[in-house]
Amino acid sequence: MKKISLYVHIPFCEKKCFYCDFLSAPASVEEMEYYVNYLLREIREQSLFYGDRQVVSIFFGGGTPSILSSGEIVRILQQIRNCFLLAEDVEITLECNPGTVTSEKLYDYIACGINRLSIGLQSTDDEELARIGRIHDYAAFLKTYSLAREAGFCNINIDLMAGLPGQSAASYMRTLERVTGLHPEHISAYSLILEEGTWLYVNQSSYEFPDEEEDRKMYRLTGERLEEAGFYRYEISNYAREGWECRHNKVYWRRGDYAGFGLGASSMVSNIRWKNPEAQQDYVMCVKRMEDAQECTLAGSAFVKYLCKTGFHEVQVLTREEQMEEFMFLGLRLTEGVDRGEFKRLFGECMDEIYEKPIDKFLSAGLLEQEGERLRLTRRGVDLSNVVFTEFLF
Ligand code: SF4
């Protein structure tokens, strides 16, 4: 049976963080309820195309999904269960921010099948948190974390960020020490990117950011300290205890099929990509058009026509070259790397012939290494991954 992963976008937050350019904004309870009603309708319509696939993972992302009442989360999951066939061991992740969950909510999540919680902490330093406009302090995070454990969550991710204004390698080290001391199953550690248009971008001159040397120190510390603490890096920015990698994210990196529901959500099924509208009124129209549309099957040009007519954005049928490119640069993000046999099976061609030049170049430069059929980045290759990836584009 074919497999699929589902992403559900909840575009609401209590307040916008200063660095955030995600599709999220504060909203009233009524606005949230209105949105969820359309989400349920969209799930039903989309399931007509892939309802026969087995769902291996579901990810509630945002925004702050935990800002919804647990009743709304239960309704969404129930709709997914009504419309799709879930694998027995389906991974269901919900992103939450400290202070937005109560013990009751967490018990409700467990009861409805959510088995992985991803908590946005970013830093354990309260001044650093305040400087980037987070709604919580470290104490609020600790409370959320212990409530989650009490409720029965045995798979927790903590999000961290390096390169924050006023952050030093020493304060970052303290964050790493405290977080590893809590023994989560998974840690995502990204660097702050100043996105144009964000509050932090506009006001950057009022802040002092770590210089390049300090940045590099933090980057090194992440790998060293997390590995010492028993985590292994399975993707450039993601670390897990053995066996606790995020299955949902691995689907993206391994180019599995996924469908996104909600504002701005992206999908890729059978090598067709598309994006949901980002404006609420366009999204609502799109859902209504889906309901009114004539029956259509998930096949080539008829499906593409349907997507365009219905109002989805960025509809793209990936060419064979684009699929190969993605196979390489997404697969190489994983420390397990890419498999030559799989490449041959998918594309009928030999990876070493198609990519002879970059493979030879980076093997001799020590940025790539091979083991049997697998090709992967070396430790130095991970540090210079952007340089490597660009050479795998046609
Ligand atoms: S909680 Fe996340 S999505 Fe919401 S504003 Fe902050 S960074 Fe953006």
Domains, the chain, in order of start with CATH, read 3-252 (3.20.20.70), 320-390 (1.10.10.920)
Can you tell me which atom of ligand 1 is nearest the CA of 20? Answer: 8
What percent of the chain shows pLDDT beyond 70? 100
pLDDT of residue 296: 75
Q: Read off the DSSP letter of residue 25.
A: B
Q: Is residue 100 a contact partner of residue 64, using CB atoms and an 8 Å limit?
A: yes
CA 265 vs. chain centroid, Å, equals 11
Model confidence band, residue 294 (pLDDT cutoffs 50, 70, 90): confident
Nearest CA to ligand 1 atom 2: 63
Rounded to whole angstroms, the Cα distance separating 195 from 188 reads 19
Nearest atom of ligand 1 to the alpha carbon of 24: 3
pLDDT for 365: 97
Cα–Cα distance for residue pair 392/394, rounded to 1 Å? 6
Handedness of CA 82, 84, 87, 89 (dihedral sign): negative
Sheet holding 232-235, edge to edge: 232-235, 238-240, 186-191, 156-162, 116-122, 85-96, 54-62, 3-10, 258-261, 266-269, 272-275, 313-317
CA distances for 76 relative to 33, 69, 136, angstroms = 11, 11, 27
* 8-state DSSP, 334: B
Q: Is the pLDDT of residue 178 over 90?
A: yes
pLDDT at site 198: 96
Residue 142 CA, ligand 1 centroid: distance in Å: 19
- pLDDT value at residue 302: 85
For residue 295, pLDDT over 80 is answered with: no
**Nearest-10 crossing angle of helices 29-50, 280-292:** 40
Q: Looking at 77-81, 84-88, 131-135, 289-293, which range is the least confident one?
A: 289-293
Q: Percent of the chain beyond pLDDT 90? A: 95
Per-residue pLDDT tens digits for 245-289: 999 999 999 999 999 999 999 999 999 999 999 999 999 999 999
Is the predicted pLDDT of residue 114 greater than 90, yes or no?
yes
Q: DSSP letter string over 91-120?
A: EEEEEE-TTS--HHHHHHHHHTT--EEEEE
How close is the Cα of 16 to the center of ligand 1, in Å?
Answer: 6
3-state secondary structure of 158: strand
Q: pLDDT of 186-230, one tens digit each? A: 999 999 999 999 999 999 999 999 999 999 999 999 999 999 999
pLDDT of residue 301: 83
Q: State phi, psi for 371 to the nearest 5 degrees.
A: -140, 110
From residue 113, alpha-carbon distances to 72, 84, 116, 135 in Å are: 14, 15, 9, 27
* Ligand 1 lining (C-beta closer than 6 Å): 13, 16-17, 20, 22, 24, 62-64, 97, 120
What tens digit of pLDDT does each residue of 351-386 get?
999 999 999 999 999 999 999 999 999 999 999 999
Strands (E), the chain: 3-10, 54-62, 85-96, 116-122, 156-162, 186-191, 232-235, 238-240, 258-261, 266-269, 272-275, 313-317, 338-339, 368-371, 374-377
Please report, for the chain, how many H helices and E strands are present, in that order. Answer: 17, 15
Half-sphere CA count of 331, side-chain side, radius 13 A: 21
Secondary structure percentages of the chain, helix, strand, coil, to 5: 45, 20, 30
Round to whole Å and give the CA distance between 252 and 358: 23
- Please report which confidence band the pLDDT of residue 297 belongs to, taking 50, 70 and 90 as the band edges: confident
Is residue 1's pLDDT more than 80?
yes
Q: How far apart are CA 283 and CA 312, in angstroms?
A: 9
Report the residue among 12, 16, 123 best suited for mutation to probe ligand 1: largest number of ligand atoms under 8 A from its CB: 16
- The pLDDT of residue 300: 75
Q: What pLDDT is stored for residue 342 in this prediction?
A: 97
Question: What are the beta bridge partners of residue 54?
Answer: 3, 85
Q: Using CA positions, which residue lies closest to atom 5 of ligand 1? A: 16
Cα 24 to averaged position of ligand 1 atoms, centre (Å)? 7
Contacts 24+ apart (CB under 8 A), 41-46: 41/287, 41/290, 41/291, 42/261, 42/262, 42/276, 42/286, 42/287, 42/290, 43/76, 43/79, 43/80, 43/83, 43/261, 44/79, 44/82, 44/83, 45/287, 45/290, 45/291, 46/259, 46/261, 46/290
Specify whether the CB–CB gap between 219 and 162 falls below 8 A.
yes
Which mutation among 20, 101, 132, 134 tests ligand 1's pocket best, with the greatest number of atoms within 8 A of CB? Answer: 20
Quick: pLDDT tens for 326-359.
999 999 999 999 999 999 999 999 999 999 999 9
C-alpha closest to that of 75 among 54, 96, 60, 53: 60
Give tens-digit pLDDT for 22-40: 999 999 999 999 999 999 9
Instruction: Check pLDDT > 90 for residue 51.
Output: no
Quick count: other Cβ atoms within 10 Å of Cβ 119?
24
pLDDT at 234 over 80: yes
Q: Six-digit token pair at 144?
A: 């959320």
Cβ 129 vs Cβ 165: under 8 Å: no
Mean pLDDT score, 222-247: 97
Which tokens belong to 218? 């933090």
